[in-house]
Amino acid sequence: MPHLESDVLVVGAGGAGMYAAIAAARAGASVVLLDKSLVGRGGATVMAQMTVAAALGHQEPDDWTLHLADTLKAGRGLCNEELAELLCRGGPERILEMDAWGTRWAREGGHIKQETAPGHSRKRCCYVDFLATGPAVAGTLRRKVGETSGIRRISNVAVVQIAVKGGRALGAVGLSVRDGRLATFHAGAVVLAAGGLTRLYARNSASANMGGEACALALEAGAELVDMEFVQFFPIGHLAPRLVGMDPIMWDPFRYKLGGRLLNGRLEEFVDRYGGTDFGRYTATRDLASYAILKEVEAGRGSPHGGAYLDFRHIGEARLREAFGPVIDRLLANGIDLTKTPVEVGPIAHYHMGGIRVDGKMETRIEGLYAAGEAVGGANGANRLSGNAITEALVFGERAGRSAAARARSGAPPWEASLAEPSIERLDALKKGKGSPGAAWPAMVQSELQRLMWENAGPFRTGGKLAAALERIREMRDELPDLRVGAAGAYNLDIQDWFELRAMLLSAECVVQSALARRESRGAHQREDFAETRPELERNQVLELRDGRLCSRWITPMGRVEADRG
C-alpha cells in the first residue's frame, strides 16, 4: 500500500484547501494537498460567479465591525461570533493579498470597485466580472500553489478515513480513483477542506464533490458537528432550458439590477398571494420567494420542470446588454434569448451553514484535526449573508493552514499500519462482491437519497416528513453492505460511489435528525408545523457519535457569556 509522509495533510483543493496549503507551506511545513477530482478545479470556489464580501472601504467608508453586524443580523442569533469576527476582520487582508497575487478585481478610479448585495449596509462586495469571479480566485490560488515550494499536489484520491489514535489525528486513508487501491498519509496535522453537503439534494448548485464527506469524516474521527439543519436554498436557481458552463444561481443580480417578473405556469404573477409585493422588482425575501414558488407548484400551477418562470421580456435588449453584455452572448450560445423566452427557476440547495465545530484556530476537539471553508459550521448562523462564502474560504483556509503548521512543528506520534484496518476491511468486503444480483448499485441509492432529501428535508419541512426521511436513511445505512459493486479494479466508480454514499448517508442523517429536533422556524430552517421563531431555541445544536449513535445537545452560541446547557 502506498504511504506518504508530510507535516500537514490538506483534504480538498478548492479555495479553502489551496489557501490552507499555501499558508502551511509558507510557515515552513511540508504539505500534501489531496483532492478527489483535479487539484484546483474541484470544490465550490471555481464554480462561483458572484461577489466576495470584505470591508475594504474602497467604494465608500466601511469597517469590519459593520460587516460583522450585518453577518450577525443575517444569522438570526445563531452565529458563532468568534468565527464571524474572524471572517469579517480577516476579509480585507485576504482580498488584498489575492490582489497582490494577481487576482484582477474590477476597478473604478484606481480602487477596487465594490457593490451592495442583499443584506449588506455598505457597498462591500468586490468581483472580477459577472462570469468569472470564482474561476479567477481559483486560478490565482492554483498558480500560487504551483509557485510555492513544499506543496505536493495529488489529484483523484478520495479520503475515506481520518486516522486517529488517543484523540490525536495522525493522517488519513485515501482511495485512488484510478486504480481502486488504498493509500495512507501520515501527517502532523490534517486540514479538512472538502466542502459542504448540498449534493445531498436532488436540486443543487454543488460541484460533484460536495456530498458531505468532510462532515462524515470529522464525525467518525470523533469531532463534533454543529447546526446541521441549516441548509440554504436559493429561491431562483436555474431549472430550464439546459444551461452549460454557467452558474445556476446567476439570476440573482439580474433581478436586483433589472427586475424580472416571477410568473407561475399560467403566466400569472403570484408572489402577492403569499404576502409579497415583488411585481417586476426584487423585494421579496428569499424564503418568501421559495415558499411562493413551491406552493404554486403544489397547487398545480408550476412551470413544466416544477418551478416558476422568470421573465425579462419587458426589458429591452439594449438595457440587458448594457447591464450584462457578455453574459447575454453566453446565454444565446445556450439557446436562451431573454427578449423572447422566460427561463424556469426554482429553489435549489446552495450552501450549508452547519458543519464541523472548531475553535478560533480552526481546530476540532480532536488534536491536530482542523477544518476550513464551507466544511466549518457556525460562522453564518441560521442564514449566510450574500458574499461571505468565498471570504470564508480564504480567511478560514489561511488560518487553518497556519495553525496546522504550528501544530505539526510539535511533532506527531509514529504511524501504525493498524490505523488503516477499518478502511481495508470495508474495501475487501466490497471486492468480494457480497451484493446479490438483484441488489441496487450505489449510484442508484445516491439518487434515491437525493430525492428523499429534496422531498422530505427541503426548503419547507414538517415533523412527519422528516421522521419518514430519518427512518428510510437508517434503512439505507443498514443496506450498505449488500449493495452491488462491479469487479473491475481500475476506474471502478462503484467503489468510489459506495464510499461517497456511506458518507452521504451519515451527513444526511445528521441534517434530518437536527431538523426534526429544532421545533421552530429560523433562517434557512423552515418548519410548516412550527412556523414561529422560539426565543428559547436561540441555541446551537451540537452532534457527536457515541458508540456509533448520533447524540445531540444544545449550547449557547460561541461569543455569548452564557455557559453550555449540557
Model confidence at 562, pLDDT cuts 50, 70, 90, reads: very low
pLDDT tens figures, 354-394: 999 999 999 999 999 999 999 999 999 999 998 999 999 99
Q: What is the pLDDT of residue 560?
A: 58
286 is catalytic: yes
Tell me the angle at which helices 463-479 and 442-456 cross, rounded to the nearest 10 degrees: 170
Taking 70 as the threshold, does the pLDDT of residue 157 lie above it?
yes
* Grid cell at residue 179: 486504480
Find which of 134-138, 203-207, 298-302 is predicted with most confidence, using mean pLDDT: 298-302
Query: Which residues lie closer than 8 Å to 396 by C-beta, 6 or more apart?
Result: 16, 83, 86, 87, 362, 371, 372, 373, 376, 379
Q: What is the pLDDT of residue 103?
A: 95
Higher pLDDT, 248 or 46: 248
CA dist., res. 399 & res. 258, Å (int): 39
Provide the 3-class DSSP secondary structure of residue 9: strand
Q: What is the pLDDT of residue 51?
A: 84
Q: What length is written for the chain?
A: 566
DSSP per-residue codes, 260-274: -EEE-TTS-B-GGGG
Report residue 251 CA to chain centroid gap. Answer: 19
Please, what sign has the CA dihedral across residues 546, 472, 238, 311? negative
Query: Which residues lie closer than 8 Å to 496 by C-beta, 6 or more apart?
Result: 36, 158, 175, 177
When pLDDT is averaged across residues 218-230 and rounded to a whole number, the result is: 98
CA dist., res. 335 & res. 243, Å (int): 9
Which H/E stretch holds residue 478?
Answer: helix 463-479
Task: Write the burial class of residue 148 (CB in 10 Å: 0-12 exposed, 13-18 middle, 19+ buried).
Answer: middle
Query: Residues 342-351, buried b or exposed e (16+ Cβ, 10 A)?
Result: bbbbbbbbbb
Which H/E stretch holds residue 526?
Answer: strand 526-527
Q: In this prediction, what percent of the chain has a pLDDT beyond 90?
A: 73
Taking 60 as the threshold, does the pLDDT of residue 546 lie above it?
yes
* Grid cell at residue 59: 467604494
- Cβ contact 311:260 at 8 Å: yes
Taking Cα atoms as reference points, which of 204, 514, 236 lies closest to residue 374? 204
Strands 3-11 and 182-192: parallel
- Cβ contact 138:45 at 8 Å: yes
* Helix intervals (H) in 167-284: 213-221, 251-258
- Cβ contact 357:150 at 8 Å: no
Cell 450552501 belongs to 351
Q: What is the pLDDT of residue 267?
A: 94
Query: Which residues lie closer than 8 Å to 334 by C-beta, 6 or more apart?
Result: 241, 242, 243, 244, 245, 246
Higher pLDDT, 240 or 438: 240
Model confidence at 326, pLDDT cuts 50, 70, 90, reads: confident
CA dist., res. 358 & res. 400, Å (int): 10
Neighbouring C-beta atoms of residue 533, cutoff 10 Å: 15
pLDDT tens figures, 480-524: 998 988 876 677 889 999 999 999 999 999 999 999 999 999 999
Taking 70 as the threshold, does the pLDDT of residue 433 lie above it?
no
Taking 80 as the threshold, does the pLDDT of residue 212 lie above it?
yes
DSSP per-residue codes, 104-170: ---EETTEE--B--TT-SSS-EE-S-TTTHHHHHHHHHHHHHHHSTTEEEE-SEEEEEEEEETTEEE
Bridge partners, residue 370, by sequence? 191, 363
Catalytic residue among 286, 384, 426, 527: 286
380: left (phi over 0), alpha (psi -120 to 50) or beta: alpha
Taking 50 as the threshold, does the pLDDT of residue 566 lie above it?
no
Taking Cα atoms as reference points, which of 254, 342, 337, 260 lies closest to residue 305? 342
Taking Cα atoms as reference points, which of 500, 218, 143 lies closest to residue 372? 218
pLDDT tens figures, 162-181: 999 999 999 999 999 888 89
CA dist., res. 26 & res. 16, Å (int): 15
pLDDT tens figures, 64-89: 999 999 999 999 999 999 999 999 99
Q: DSSP 3-state helix, strand, coil percentages of the chain (rounded to 5)?
A: 40, 20, 40
Average pLDDT, whole number, for the chain?
91
Torsion of Cα atoms, 457 then 463 then 464 then 469, to 10°: 40
Taking Cα atoms as reference points, which of 225, 218, 191 lies closest to residue 371? 191
Peptide bond before residue 459 is cis, with ω within 30 degrees of 0: no
